[in-house]
Chain A
Amino acid sequence: MSLKTARVLTTIYFILMALAVTWPGLVLFARIEPFILGLPFSLAWISAWIAGSVVVLYLLDRVEKRYRDGGEG
């Protein structure tokens, strides 16, 4: 994946996340059931986006690192 694509995708992820955890995105998921691992749905929903952000940042870092080591970007 090119550096630019990785950066764009990362940015998109965080914009989607911002929408998903505030109005209007969260309105759709503001409910109690189904319980996930014992947690009410909305709490699990927000937590999942946070866990996802670790993965996204990690993947971004791998691409960025490759470019840094290659002396480009």
Chain B
Amino acid sequence: MEQWVVVTIIIVLYLALTLTIGLMAGRNQTDSVAGYVAADRSFGLLVMYFVTGASVFSAFAFLGGPGWAYSRGAAAFYILAYGALGMAPFYWMGPRAALLGRKFGYVTQAQLVTGRFPSKRLSAMIAVLSLVAFVPYVTLQMRGAGIVIEAVTDGHVPLWLGSFVAYGIVILYVLRSGAMAVGWTNTFQGVFMVIIAWSLGLYLPHRLYGGIGPMFEQIAVARPELLVPPGLTAAGDPWSWGAFSTFILVSAIGLMMWPHLFMKAFTAKDDDTLRRTVILFPTFQLFLIPVFLIGFAGVMFAGQPASSDFILPFMILETDLPAVVVGLFCAGALSASMSTGDALLHASASVFVGDGVAKFMPLTEHQQRRLMQVIVLLTGAIAYYFAMDPESSLVQLLATAYGIISQLAPPVVAAMYWKRATTPGVITGLIAGTATAFFFYTNPELKPYDMHEGILALMVHVPVLVGASLMTQRQDEEHLKGFFS
């Protein structure tokens, strides 16, 4: 049998298994919004751990990670560094958000923010901002899935078809089972991904170089610039410390602001589950080490794939691995892509309907749930359209998304921790921050020290929020009591 046939069979089996798990998951869920969005607040530690881990480790980690290590060397370490930093504050913020969620019935973070700062306009702004950030992120996941499938099947299954099938399956189970499907498929995919990453990460250096140590020693002699932070740019020039550092900061700040991650505070069974997930989260982070090893293993191999996003599958094929290994790798990458993609689609619909549409027209629970399912389809279709654009790069997509989503951090933190913050203050801050991010995104040559536009935007956002809040009238004591007692 030809290699690509074996690979395709493994992928089909894998997809079938995921679909089954996804569809089975929703059986016992109630037909309510809380059921669809927050899985009736029922997730235990095991599911929480893998849901969180698997939805953070996306196609970007699995494909972008090795791709970066291979072509940009130590620049890739930024992906390793931010996760633990970004997750830690959630040890306190998570249970606090959960408490407010139970008290006031919140299922999204926009509800939390606008519960404290009542304003339809603010709610709509957050809904739109989240959706704008979600689209490049979903696009990235879809493109990642398509790239893997196209590469390992020798082009027999083209990108458009691979993305279409993988995401057709995701959409099917998200539509049917909501949060429960996301939970159980991610548990399965999370376990699968960790096993694949570690086995390939240890196997490849061993097979190609005789071990991890010998591999890095050889790279240190031939390409020492790859092993010293901040590494290289995509063009092969030295990367700047300003960019390296602010990429870490913006990702750390943005990480927990992703609605699909923040909403975990509302899906957890109890606070201890949340706290333990935070404590264990960095262990998931360390799984990036084998991912880097896979990328570094390719350094001494000649040859250049068509696009840097194709590096990993390209390398896997170049090294003459058995077809079964290639197939399993591919399924691992699909896990990474789909487990983030499903959470994103699910969250984008929950946020857009709950915080956007439902604020402006009365909808029954049943109608809301239906509308959410329509939005899942719609977001999927838009992302699919962008995923087919050959000009888009995985890394660029992710960086853009993080710049946008990090702007939610000041309103969320202010809502939970700063009594003196006011509604006009938060709205003004959000507008100023978003405008700054947009300005530097469109004029990258003006960025001081090559800093990430998301960080520059926060430098404007936070002082404006504080200043405008202090200049406007303090919130009513009765209203504040609900949040701070």
Contacts and interface: CB of A to CB of B under 8 A. Distances in A.
B201 to A, nearest CB: 12
Given A38-B216, A57-B91, A58-B279, A21 B81 contact: yes
Contact of B85 (A14, A42, A47): A14
Interface in B267-307: 275-276, 278-280, 282-283, 285-286, 289, 292
A32 B227 contact: yes
B220 interface: yes
A14 B211 CA distance: 33
Contacts of B252: 18
A71 B289 CA distance: 41
B115 interface: no
B249 interface: yes
A37 B244 CA distance: 25
A46 B80 contact: yes
B212 A53 contact: no
A40 B216 contact: yes
B84 interface: yes
Contacts of B220: 32-33, 40
B296 to A, nearest CB: 9
B229 interface: yes
Contacts of A47: 80, 286, 289
A35 B275 contact: no
A30 interface: yes
A22 B289 contact: no
Nearest to B228: A30
A32 B229 CA distance: 9
B77 interface: yes
Interface string B216-233: 110010001001111000
Nearest to A57: B279
B242 interface: yes
B160 interface: no
A22 B248 contact: yes
B245 interface: yes
B289 A26 contact: no
Contacts, number: 105
Instruction: Give the contact-size bracket for chain A.
Output: 20 to 34
A23 B83 CA distance: 17
Contacts of B358: none
Contacts of B228: 30-32, 40, 42
Contacts of A58: 279
Given A40-B220, A42-B74, A18 B249 contact: yes
Contact of B280 (A30, A50, A54): A54
A26 B228 CA distance: 10
A38 B279 contact: no
B99 interface: no
A54 B212 contact: no
Interface string A31-73: 1110101111011001101110110011011001000000000
B362 interface: no
Interface string B52-85: 0000000000000000000000100100110111
B15 interface: no
Given A23-B244, A54-B283, A43 B224 contact: no
A22 B276 CA distance: 27
A9 interface: no
B339 to A, nearest CB: 21
Contacts of B224: 32
A43 B292 contact: yes
9 contacts: A17-B84, A38-B215, A39-B212, A39-B289, A47-B289, A54-B279, A54-B282, A57-B91, A57-B282
Identify the 8 closest CB pairs spanning chains A and B, nearest first.
Answer: A38-B213, A22-B245, A38-B212, A21-B81, A23-B241, A57-B279, A40-B227, A23-B245
Given A43-B227, A54-B282, 5 more contacts: A21-B85, A30-B229, A35-B213, A42-B74, A57-B282
